């Protein structure tokens, strides 16, 4: 469009159009989840950094996953909380673009990191003697850098195309954050190509990382079933249970939202699934890893045991 004065410079996030008492209830629930998510993930980061026994590749990747979850919920929850209490639900054009990009950048990085974590478990269980060589410190750093760089680059091109779109109105996004498809559909240009591109990229990221994770765990299961001791099999499976749980949550919700060509589900249902993915899922990860992981629980107990006498001495 040549007439730039008709471009929309802010959007309205419709969110969940509920009566005021219900909006207040949702605000309180989201606020509690937001605080618990920050506390849970920060606790994991702190424990991994403090406890020397947890400075292994598995916990290094887990620490990065917690950093991702913190950034993920920070990119969505604050604006959502503001909109739940305010009549003015607007977000600036560039704020909306930034939120959309950060959401997909962090989400893509998450999926790549989950695939890398599955490879780490594969190397630890299927090649235990060579594991220290395969997953040495430099390799782990390069893998994590590759996750972040892969997420950044894979979402950069769709962002550049999104920034070129003209928005003439309407400016109401039927969502609680700036998701790609609802935002693109507001453009007054032909966006079929962009929506197809978003679908293809989503499928490539999801299915590639899912296939890699699935193959890794097929090898893991085959190796574990060959262990003669029942105790050994149980111990091997317990080290993977948390990762399998987290991966199932991530892939299930993401495939429902982004890997369907027809987009047959209603916006209300998609918003509920998106709420689970963006707000609830980051809360579950630290608790899943903490409650199911003996090393993390022992490290937390040791830290609390040491901390209490020190506080008494100071008092």
Q: What's the confidence (pLDDT) of residue 182? A: 84
Residue 287 host element (H or E): helix 281-292
Which residues have a Cβ under 8 Å from the Cβ of 275 and sit 6 or more positions away? 176
Strand partners, 90: 12
Q: What's the confidence (pLDDT) of residue 196? A: 83
Q: How far is CA 196 from CA 190, 193, 199, 255, 281, in A?
A: 12, 5, 5, 15, 27
Q: What's the confidence (pLDDT) of residue 313? A: 46
116-140: average pLDDT: 90
Give CA–CA dist 28/235, Å, rounded. 40
Q: Does residue 1 form part of some domain? A: no
Q: Does residue 82 form part of some domain? A: yes
Q: What is the count of structural domains for the chain?
A: 1
Q: Does residue 252 form part of some domain? A: yes
Q: Work out the pLDDT band at 273, boundaries 50, 70, 90.
A: confident
Task: Tell me how far the alpha carbon of residue 41 is from its chain's centroid.
Answer: 12
The label of the residue with tokens 């990229």 reads: 201
- The model carries a pTM of 0.85
Question: Which CATH number does the domain housing residue 229 bear?
Answer: 1.20.1070.10
User: Residue 4 above 70 pLDDT?
Assistant: no
* DSSP H stretches of helix in 51-155: 57-85, 93-126, 131-134, 137-154
Q: Does residue 160 form part of some domain? A: yes
Domain that holds residue 221: 8-314
Q: What's the confidence (pLDDT) of residue 311? A: 52
Cα dihedral: 19, 22, 28, 33 (round 10): -110
Is the peptide bond between 315 and the residue preceding it cis, with omega within 30 degrees of 0? no
User: Residue 243 above 90 pLDDT?
Assistant: no
Q: What is the DSSP letter of 6?
A: G
Give CA–CA dist 103/281, Å, rounded. 14
Q: Work out the pLDDT band at 3, boundaries 50, 70, 90.
A: very low
Q: Does residue 132 form part of some domain? A: yes
163-175: average pLDDT: 84
User: Residue 259 above 70 pLDDT?
Assistant: no
48-70: average pLDDT: 87
Q: Does residue 2 form part of some domain? A: no
Q: Does residue 42 form part of some domain? A: yes
Contact between 194 and 162 under an 8 Å Cβ cutoff? The reply is yes
pLDDT above 90 covers a percentage of the chain that reads: 21
Q: Does residue 114 form part of some domain? A: yes
User: Residue 314 above 70 pLDDT?
Assistant: no
Q: What's the confidence (pLDDT) of residue 58? A: 86
Contact between 263 and 184 under an 8 Å Cβ cutoff? The reply is no
């Amino acid at each position: 469009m040549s007439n730039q004065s008709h471009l929309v410079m802010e959007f309205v996030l419709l969110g969940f159009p509920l009566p005021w008492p219900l909006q207040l209830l949702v605000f309180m629930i989201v606020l509690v989840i937001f605080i618990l998510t920050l506390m849970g993930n920060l606790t994991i980061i702190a424990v991994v950094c403090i406890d020397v026994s947890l400075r292994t590749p598995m916990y290094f990747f887990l620490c990065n996953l917690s950093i991702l979850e913190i950034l993920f919920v920070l990119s969505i929850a604050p604006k959502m909380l503001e909109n739940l209490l305010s009549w003015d639900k607007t977000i600036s054009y560039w704020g909306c673009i930034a939120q959309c990009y950060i959401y997909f950048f962090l989400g893509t990085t998450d999926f790549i990191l989950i695939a890398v974590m599955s490879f780490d478990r594969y190397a630890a269980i299927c090649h235990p003697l060579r594991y220290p060589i395969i997953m040495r410190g430099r390799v782990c750093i390069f893998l994590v850098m590759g996750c972040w760089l892969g997420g950044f680059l894979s979402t950069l091109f769709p962002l550049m195309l999104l920034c070129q779109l003209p928005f003439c109105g309407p400016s109401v996004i039927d969502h609680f954050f700036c998701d790609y498809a609802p935002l693109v559909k507001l453009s007054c240009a032909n966006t079929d190509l962009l929506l197809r591109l978003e679908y293809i990229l989503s499928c490539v990221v999801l299915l590639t990382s899912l296939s890699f994770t699935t193959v890794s765990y097929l090898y893991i299961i085959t190796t574990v079933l060959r262990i003669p001791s029942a105790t050994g099999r149980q111990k091997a499976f317990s080290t993977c249970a948390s990762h399998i749980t987290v991966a199932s949550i991530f892939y299930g919700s993401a495939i429902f939202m982004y890997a369907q060509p027809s987009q047959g589900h209603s916006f209300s249902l998609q918003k509920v699934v998106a709420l689970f993915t963006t707000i609830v899922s980051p809360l579950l990860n630290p608790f899943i890893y903490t409650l199911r992981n003996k090393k993390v629980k022992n490290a937390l107990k040791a830290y609390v045991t040491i901390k209490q006498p020190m506080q008494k001495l100071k008092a």
